[in-house]
Amino acid sequence: MVRASITAALWHRKIPLKKPFVTALRCVDTVDDLVLKLSLGGYTGYGSAAPTVRITGDSAETIADSVKHELFPLFAADFDPRDPGGALRDAGDVSKSARYMAETALFDLAGSMQGLSLADMLGGARRRVLTNDITISMGTPQEMARDAADAAAQGFRNLKLKVGSDPETDYARLEAISRSVPDSVRLRVDANQAWDAEEGIAILKEYKKADFPIDFIEQPVPAEDIGGMARLTEANIFPIAADESVFSAADAERLMREKAAHIFNIKLAKCGGITEALAICALAEDHNARCMIGCMMEGPFGILAACQIAAARDPIHWIDLDSPLLYRGLEGVFSVAFYNERITVGNSPGIGIIDPALERWEGEKIWEAG
Ligand SMILES: C[C@H](N)C(=O)N[C@H](CCC(=O)O)C(=O)O
Ligand SMILES: [Mg+2]
């Protein structure tokens, strides 16, 4: 047990995007990135979180306040590198984004101290190369078809399409995109809660009739409409992925029990970090279910942690960790390499940061302690 010598600092920076990211829920042209740096005996650990109020309810202020007043006192007093998440076990009902940021930094610090990558800390990487998708923001059918064709030309075989404005335009989007990409390209369609169950069933029947190359439909109905998710799952037109409906292992367990999704989208920002994500993976293993690991439009450190988990856990079948591909400028910062659809997870300690690039994007240090 190492006591009371962790120092912490919090940055708030803005990461510019190549183009606005548009979904049925929100539109952003920069990523708001809160970064937590922990230092102990010459070692460092980093975590990050984005204030996605529309999805997690967490603002920059609530995340920062929770780290300063609720989480730092816990891990500053009680950090054990052999059990990095242990200090947060009794954190209670805190901001999930803050917990995620702190837990990522604690695992990164522990990995640095032990010379182990996070994937190896979790029992060894089974896969070092992951196949990522890329998201095509909601736009006109022509714009989306052009973006889809560009992505396919770069080598992406899995495209995640944002839909949910109105059924006619969505259909035109799918039609234009299907025509613009090679037959080998598969589509994931994310409605971000835009439909109700009846509407969703009618829409999906049309998509089926048109033979669009769809692998699954993500979060067709509002997060709390578990009955609607179950109806769409039972209809079995396309596999249904739960995203905003699954914030915790308890949510995942309910969805599995009520047969309200085929696929479970784990996001560290939604579930509060690595420990809860592993609990969802364990449940999926018990239920023989498959998961996707996804991300918010968020900074790179949490994405690195998610890549390490994806490399180490079998139930994670689909990878949607494309946020870094959408930033303007990233090169040379991580041991986890993003090259078009390929993510290669290296052996560097912790989550795999080579250079935290704290000065690279506009931002400021907003707090330090210890
Ligand atoms: C970035 C990722 N591919 C994605 O699409 N995530 C969204 C939410 C992102 C956000 O609004 O910050 C999702 O799956 O709904
Ligand atoms: Mg989604």
pLDDT tens-digit readout, 183-237? 999 999 999 999 999 999 999 999 999 999 999 999 999 999 999 999 999 999 9
Q: Find the mean pLDDT for residues 153-179.
A: 98
Q: Which of 18, 19, 68, 267 is catalytic?
A: 267
Q: Find the mean pLDDT for residues 299-316.
A: 96
Distance 354 CA to ligand 2 centre (A): 29
Ligand 1 atom nearest 219 alpha carbon: 15
pLDDT digits (tens, 9 = 90+) for 95-115: 999 999 999 999 999 999 999
The label of the residue with tokens 């992406």 reads: 156
What's the pTM value of the predicted model, to 2 decimals?
Answer: 0.96
Residue 196: alpha-carbon gap to chain centroid = 24
The label of the residue with tokens 């290669």 reads: 344
Best mutation site among 58, 159, 297 for ligand 1 pocket (most ligand atoms within 8 Å of CB): 297
Rg (CA), the chain: 20
Q: Find the mean pLDDT for residues 307-335.
A: 88
Indicate whether 343 pLDDT > 80.
Answer: yes
Q: Does domain 121-344 have CATH number 3.20.20.120?
A: yes
pLDDT digits (tens, 9 = 90+) for 275-298: 999 999 999 999 999 999 999 999
CB 333 within 8 Å of CB 354: yes
Distance 24 CA to ligand 2 centre (A): 10
pLDDT at 356: 81
The finding on whether 270 has its CB within 6 A of some atom of ligand 1 is no
The overall average pLDDT reported for the chain is 95
pLDDT at 335: 65
Strands of the sheet containing 7-22, edge to edge, are 43-49, 27-40, 7-22, 363-369
Indicate whether 4 pLDDT > 50.
Answer: no
Indicate whether 328 pLDDT > 60.
Answer: yes
Indicate whether 3 pLDDT > 60.
Answer: no
The finding on whether 295 has its CB within 6 A of some atom of ligand 1 is yes
**For residue 285, what are the contacts with CB-CB under 8 A and spacing of at least 6?**
314, 315
- The pLDDT-based confidence of 330 (bands split at 50, 70, 90) is low
- The pLDDT-based confidence of 329 (bands split at 50, 70, 90) is confident
Strands of the sheet containing 158-162, edge to edge, are 134-136, 158-162, 186-190, 214-218, 240-242, 263-267, 290-294, 316-319
- The pLDDT-based confidence of 143 (bands split at 50, 70, 90) is very high
Is 208 part of the annotated catalytic residue set?
Answer: no
Consecutive H or E run containing 45: strand 43-49
Indicate whether 347 pLDDT > 70.
Answer: yes
> What is the residue type of 41?
G
pLDDT at 332: 53
pLDDT digits (tens, 9 = 90+) for 240-280: 999 999 999 999 999 999 999 999 999 999 999 999 999 99
pLDDT at 1: 47
pLDDT at 125: 87
Which range scores top for mean pLDDT: 123-132, 194-203, 348-357?
194-203
What are residue 134's DSSP bridge partners? 159
Please state, in angstroms and rounded to a whole number, the distance separating the CA atoms of residues 253 and 90. Answer: 22
Which bound ligand lies closest to the C-alpha atom of 133?
1
Tokens of 250: 């308890």
Indicate whether 331 pLDDT > 70.
Answer: no
Which bound ligand lies closest to the C-alpha atom of 302?
1
Q: Find the mean pLDDT for residues 129-156.
A: 98
Indicate whether 140 pLDDT > 60.
Answer: yes
Is 365 part of the annotated catalytic residue set?
Answer: no
Q: Topology of 7-115 in CATH?
A: Enolase-like; domain 1 (3.30.390)
Beta strand 43-49 pairing with 27-40:
antiparallel
Domain residue spans of the chain: 7-115, 121-344
Q: Percent of the chain having pLDDT more than 90?
A: 90
CB 36 within 8 Å of CB 44: no
Beta strand 316-319 pairing with 214-218:
unpaired
Q: Report the SS3 class of residue 266.
A: strand
Indicate whether 27 pLDDT > 90.
Answer: yes
